[in-house]
């Protein structure tokens, strides 16, 4: 499929290219990259404040590093026990963080940044970003349609309904950016909220015309239902965009600094190991409940080993472009440690 880039997309490219260039020359990581502290650091300084962490997760490829860290006892070595709490998306996790039902949660950066810009978590010290999680590569953010659907190209999505997992998140943002880049009037596209696990069936039964899917749901829908790609939402203006990571509240971070540091050390190892496909595939069968063949077909993104404000600022700039932010927003204060480079 040939992608056409309109004038609005070229303007976006200018902004994002400048941000990307800045990231390449000035970015630094808060998690220390490959420089890992010894596993007994937390114990040697008095142990963690809270040993059992309630961690919000979706059953998607993005969080493979957590399951690796659990499997390889990286959390255990840091004095932590992880209780996985299922969530539908980052936006849905934020109330759980605020109420204390979740200590830390995976989520997309758009939801976290949007909530912070609206001071939605002000009563608990705001939202704080703890770990980077996942970054796009081609073919891992796809809008799929039924194999025999008349929807064959992005322009065909005008007047149609697309499923996304939650509103005002990274899916909606990247969908709108890439649709517009392909000369689609996004005002004529309707979005419907559905869990990732329900999207394949919704496309097949016609309750939606297409669905914005991530792995392993993409590979499963293509293999079992013959669904086809209409648009790669990680292309053009969204190529290489940071997707999501792990957040907590300012209150939890302030009261549990050793716990957060221990979590970061364990996650740094998990993120590193997630680059090894043979390590990840069998875990997908376990936690995402996909078969081995589907696991072998999924398209992998990047698992960054550092949390970088300049890279995440790119998301805020795109949100500003598409009206999700009313004014400029600096992500640096959200990062645990307060600086991104």
pLDDT at 261: 96
Question: Rounded distance, CA 256 to CA 45, Å?
Answer: 13
pLDDT at 22: 32
Contact 156, 231 (CB under 8 A): no
What CATH code would you report for 52-135+241-325?
A: 3.40.190.10
Condensed to tens digits (0 to 9), the pLDDT of residues 219-235 reads 999 999 999 999 999 99
What is the secondary structure of 163-208 as a DSSP string? EESSSSSHHHHHHHHHHHHTT--GGG-EEEE--HHHHHHHHHHTSS
pLDDT at 92: 84
Condensed to tens digits (0 to 9), the pLDDT of residues 33-50 reads 333 444 444 443 459 999
Q: How would you class 73 by CB atoms within 10 Å of its CB: exposed for 0-12, middle for 13-18, buried for 19 or more?
A: exposed
What CATH code would you report for 142-238?
A: 3.40.190.10
Helix (H) / strand (E) containing 287: helix 277-287
Domain boundaries, the chain: 52-135+241-325, 142-238
pLDDT at 95: 96
Q: Which residues of the chain have pLDDT under 50?
A: 1-45, 338-341
């Amino acid at each position: 499929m040939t992608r056409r880039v309109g004038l609005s997309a070229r303007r976006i490219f200018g902004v994002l290219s400048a941000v990307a260039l800045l990231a390449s020359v000035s970015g630094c990581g808060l998690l220390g990259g490959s420089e890992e502290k010894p596993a007994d650091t937390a114990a040697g300084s008095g142990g963690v404040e809270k040993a059992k962490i309630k961690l919000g997760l979706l059953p998607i490829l993005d969080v493979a590093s957590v399951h690796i860290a659990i499997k390889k006892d990286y959390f255990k070595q840091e004095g932590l026990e992880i209780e996985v709490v299922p969530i539908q998306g980052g936006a849905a996790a934020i109330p759980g963080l605020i109420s204390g039902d979740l200590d830390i949660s995976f989520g997309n950066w758009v939801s976290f940044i949007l909530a912070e810009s609206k001071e939605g978590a002000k009563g608990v010290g705001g939202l704080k970003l703890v770990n980077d999680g996942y970054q796009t590569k081609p073919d891992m953010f796809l809008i799929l349609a039924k194999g025999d659907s008349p929807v064959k190209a992005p322009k065909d999505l005008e007047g149609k309904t697309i499923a996304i997992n939650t509103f005002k998140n990274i899916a909606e943002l990247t969908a709108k950016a890439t649709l517009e880049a392909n000369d689609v009037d996004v005002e004529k596209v309707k979005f419907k909220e559905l869990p990732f696990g329900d999207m394949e069936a919704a496309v097949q039964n016609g309750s939606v015309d297409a669905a914005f899917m991530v792995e392993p749901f993409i590979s499963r829908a293509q293999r079992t239902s013959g669904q086809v790609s209409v648009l790669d939402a990680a292309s053009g203006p969204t190529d290489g965009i940071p997707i999501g990571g792990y957040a907590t509240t300012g209150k939890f971070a302030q009261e549990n600094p050793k716990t957060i540091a221990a979590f970061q050390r364990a996650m740094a190892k998990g993120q590193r190991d997630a680059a090894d496909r043979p390590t990840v595939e069998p875990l997908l069968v376990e936690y995402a409940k996909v078969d081995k063949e589907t696991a072998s077909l999924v398209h992998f993104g990047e698992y960054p080993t550092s949390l970088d404000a300049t890279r995440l600022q790119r998301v805020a700039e795109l949100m500003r472009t598409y009206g999700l932010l009313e004014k400029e927003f600096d992500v640096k204060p959200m990062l645990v440690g307060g600086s991104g480079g």
